[in-house]
Structure 1
Amino acid sequence: MQFKNLQLNKPILRAISEKGYQLATPVQEQTIPLVLDKKDVIASAQTGTGKTAAFALPILQLLFDKQDAGKKAKKIRALIVSPTRELAIQIEDNFKTYGKYTNLRTTVIYGGISIEPQKDTLKKGVDILIATPGRLLDLHKQDIVNLDYVEILVLDEADLMLDMGFINDVKKIERLCPKEKQVLLFSATMPSRIIELSNSILKNPETIDVTPKSSAAESVHQKLYYVPKTKKMELCLHLLRNTIKGDILIFRRTKFGVDKLEKMLRKNGYKVNSIHGDKTQSAREDALNKFKNKQVNILIATDVASRGIDIQNLDAVINFDMPNVPEIYVHRIGRTGRAGLTGSSHSFCAADERTYIQTIEKLIGTTIPVEKEHPYPLDPKAKPEVYIKKGSNHKKGRKSAASKKNKKRWY
């Protein structure tokens, strides 16, 4: 369907056409009319499906009629809550792009940077606020943010907010907004706690599901390597030297794992950078820009830090650690092979990750080809490694002589 058939006004259509977009994606085609009808919506859609425009365009349209309040008189009438800073910045870019021929003011607030400039911008008055939960509640506590006039609340990447422990903050933010409001919830996956959340805050929502069940298989050449956990570093190095070339995104499960791999690749002369939750905002942006500008060709990331990051023309994805949620696998490898190009994905599976492969293959409806020709094969009979926590050698309740000597007695 063309955008001009979706009841959007000329200023918005003009901005869309300048971006070169004519046809709406499935999530846009289904969501935009429902949002314009002021319905609550719960949408299962991944990054890369065009979901930001699916809520940004109708919100700009709905707020368009009241856009000319004096700047000081502007109230926050649309609130978009996003789990990560990168995603929040990207959403703001979208709103500014699509709303360039309107008088609607958009701003973004997030932690990790100075709060004062954000306060100044908010005091000038904004119509649309994009925020991460922590900074939003912080500014609300300081009476800088007033949510009494919010007409539309968007919860983006709700499953990621759950993973990051923001779910109680999200509930609190929802309660700070007026009771009568439109709520739009977007999530790549639908775990039971997200369904519970949607049942508690959405009123008779319309459900949209545009999660491609096997989108993973079409433009991405997938390979699976069974490898002992202790040999993953060596296998990664072997593949980078001999097989995998170009711009590469490597996923690891933990921040510690990201740092360890980055150090090893640097030592071996690779141009590499990383992003994870413990890095400052400027360090994360710097890493991302260097990767986009081809100053480095390998970027290592955790799932949380990478969600929503828009990286074009990736040549390959390496799953250094297998994800235990099958949708995350689809999401990861969907970063390559976009826009009609082909890409490759290389997944390292240790003995204790075998069960994840079954659930992934069930979701994508295909068997991932196993690459047996590599120097570090896993013994098919290998048992998962079990780590036993060693206790103290001291007897329970035993006190040292020094401890007894220093004991202050009350008698």
Structure 2
Amino acid sequence: MSFEIFNLSLELKKALEKNSYKEATPIQKEVIPLIKSKHDILAQAQTGSGKTASFVIPILELLKEEKSTKKAKIKVLVLAPTRELTLQITETFSNMSQFFEKKPSIVSVIGGESIGDQLLKIQKGCDIVVATSGRLLDIIDKKQMDLSNLQYFVLDEADKMLDLGFAQELDTILEIIPKNRQNLLFSATYSKKVIDIASKITTTATKVKIESKTTHVENIEQRAIFVNKENRNALLKHLIKQYKFKSVLVFVSTKRATENISYKFRKSGYLAESFHGDLTQEERVYTLEEFKNKKLNILFSTDIASRGLHIDDIDCVINFDLPRSTEDYIHRIGRTARAGKTGVAISFLDNDNLAHFKLIEKRYKLDIPKEQIEGFDFTLEKVKKQKGPMPVKGKRKSKKDKLREQGLK
């Protein structure tokens, strides 16, 4: 479906064309008209669905129609769970407003960068703040941010934010922002926690649900390969050589593991680097740019890269370690096959994680063939159900005995 149906301004149409937005995705088709009509939204949308543009486009259109003031005032507040997603959203706002006669001022508020510089930009006047909640509260505590003119409150990746302990922070933010505002919530899942949070923010939201969980992974070839843990490095090198992968994103479970494995691969001559939350913001931005520009071929990352990482040409995603949450599996593999391209997602399996992988398959109604690669011998162990010991009569104390011991009988 063409963006023509949304009746957008000429400036936005030019930006869409320049950024290669040709057909509206299902979430954009549903959400853009609702936001333009001033509805509150509670939308369930998976990674790669185009949800960022679904709120950026109509918000910019509505802002453009308003009379401008001499000094910009904060009218839009977007909260996101990670620095990377925050910067991606900021970039989308900037790209989509590039042809506006009066471009909105957009400020990213994130940790790892100078809070003084961010405060200065805000105090000079800005229209849109895109923030992680922790740094936003740091600035709010300094009482140097005026949110009294806020019109649009966007909560992106709500489920992920709750995983990071966002609930209490939200209460503080809701006390400060105006009650009369448009609320837009996006989440990959409709868990009870998400619904509880949504009820705090709005009771009049229009619910939008994009049914299929597989639309964004149709172009991904999903594979599962048995391999002993000590042979995973060798298998990864074998796969990269065999399929000539030029850009590989490898998910591992810990920050320390990303450092150790990337070091070993660099010693073997690979252009590899680690990516995790302990890096400074400057290091994180630099590493992603190197990966995007193909100066790095392999990025070993924690789940920090499972959401908000928009790189169009990742050939293959490797689950070196499986994600703890079944939901993160889809977010991880969604880093490949973006922008209509194809990609491969490979999970390394062993006797310890096979049961967890079966839970992932059940969750997403998948049936991925389990492979073994020649030269990487693996023995699948049958899991025997162990029966607990038979109860011994008279072993457990009766309620009367327990009360007697406590002097209550």
TM-score range, shorter chain: 0.7 to 0.9
Distance 2:75 2:283 in 1: 32
Q: Amino acid of the residue matched to residue 369 of structure 1?
A: P
CA deviation map 1:63-106 (0-9, x unaligned): 223341002xx221110011111111111111112122152322
Aligned to 1:85: 83
Determine whether 1:361 maps to 2:324.
no
Structure 2: which 5+ runs fail to align?
385-409
Aligned to 1:319: 319
Contact 1:46-1:211 at 8 Å conserved across structures: no
Matches within 5 A, 1:196-215: 196-210=196-210, 212-215=212-215
Number of equivalences: 382
| Aligned CA distance change for structure 1 residues 57 and 161 (closer, same or farther; 3 Å) | same
Distance 2:284 2:340 in 1: 29
Deviates more, 1:365-374 or 1:273-282: 365-374
Aligned to 1:397: none
Deviation at 1:217, TM superposition (A): 5.5
Q: Amino acid of the residue matched to residue 318 of structure 2?
A: I
Deviates more, 1:310-319 or 1:104-113: 104-113
Q: Look up the SS of the partner of 2:352 in the other structure.
A: helix
Matches within 5 A, 1:135-214: 135-210=135-210, 212-214=212-214
Contact 2:78-2:155 at 8 Å conserved across structures: yes
Deviation at 1:273, TM superposition (A): 1.1
Aligned to 1:255: 255
Deviation at 1:117, TM superposition (A): 1.7
Distance 2:129 2:281 in 1: 19
| Aligned CA distance change for structure 1 residues 354 and 102 (closer, same or farther; 3 Å) | farther
Contact 1:325-1:356 at 8 Å conserved across structures: no
Q: Look up the SS of the partner of 1:154 in the other structure.
A: strand
CA deviation map 1:27-64 (0-9, x unaligned): 11100111112211111112322111100111112222
Contact 2:48-2:216 at 8 Å conserved across structures: no
Contact 1:41-1:183 at 8 Å conserved across structures: yes
Deviation at 1:211, TM superposition (A): 5.6
Determine whether 1:75 maps to 2:78.
no
Contact 1:136-1:145 at 8 Å conserved across structures: no
Determine whether 1:96 maps to 2:94.
yes
Contact 2:225-2:373 at 8 Å conserved across structures: no
Contact 2:41-2:207 at 8 Å conserved across structures: yes
Deviation at 1:318, TM superposition (A): 0.5
TM-score by length of 1: 0.86
Distance 1:171 1:62 in 2: 27
Q: Amino acid of the residue matched to residue 97 of structure 2?
A: G
Matches within 5 A, 1:8-407: 8-71=8-71, 74-100=72-98, 101-103=100-102, 104-210=104-210, 212-215=212-215, 218-243=218-243, 245-381=245-381
Distance 2:212 2:276 in 1: 27
CA deviation map 1:154-208 (0-9, x unaligned): 0111122122233322332223211222111112233331222112222221111
Distance 1:115 1:340 in 2: 38
Deviates more, 1:133-142 or 1:337-346: 337-346
Distance 2:272 2:208 in 1: 39
Deviates more, 1:236-245 or 1:288-297: 236-245
Aligned to 2:391: none
Distance 2:31 2:101 in 1: 22
Aligned to 2:407: none
| Aligned CA distance change for structure 1 residues 15 and 219 (closer, same or farther; 3 Å) | closer
Deviates more, 1:182-191 or 1:16-25: 16-25
Contact 1:188-1:211 at 8 Å conserved across structures: no
| Aligned CA distance change for structure 1 residues 45 and 333 (closer, same or farther; 3 Å) | same
Contact 2:9-2:61 at 8 Å conserved across structures: yes
Distance 1:201 1:217 in 2: 31
Q: Amino acid of the residue matched to residue 292 of structure 2?
A: K
| Aligned CA distance change for structure 1 residues 355 and 176 (closer, same or farther; 3 Å) | farther
Contact 2:318-2:346 at 8 Å conserved across structures: yes
Contact 1:35-1:58 at 8 Å conserved across structures: yes
Distance 1:265 1:206 in 2: 49
Aligned to 1:407: none
Contact 1:219-1:341 at 8 Å conserved across structures: yes
Distance 1:250 1:113 in 2: 26
Contact 1:229-1:351 at 8 Å conserved across structures: no
TM-score by length of 2: 0.87
Aligned to 1:388: none
CA deviation map 1:223-267 (0-9, x unaligned): 111233344334334433445622101011221221222122122
Deviation at 1:116, TM superposition (A): 1.8
| Aligned CA distance change for structure 1 residues 198 and 32 (closer, same or farther; 3 Å) | same
Contact 1:147-1:178 at 8 Å conserved across structures: yes
Q: Amino acid of the residue matched to residue 97 of structure 1?
A: N
Q: Look up the SS of the partner of 1:80 in the other structure.
A: strand
Distance 2:105 2:339 in 1: 32
Aligned to 2:402: none
Contact 1:219-1:342 at 8 Å conserved across structures: yes
Q: Amino acid of the residue matched to residue 92 of structure 1?
A: T
Contact 1:28-1:51 at 8 Å conserved across structures: yes
| Aligned CA distance change for structure 1 residues 260 and 190 (closer, same or farther; 3 Å) | farther
Backbone CA RMSD of aligned residues = 2.1
Deviation at 1:138, TM superposition (A): 1.0
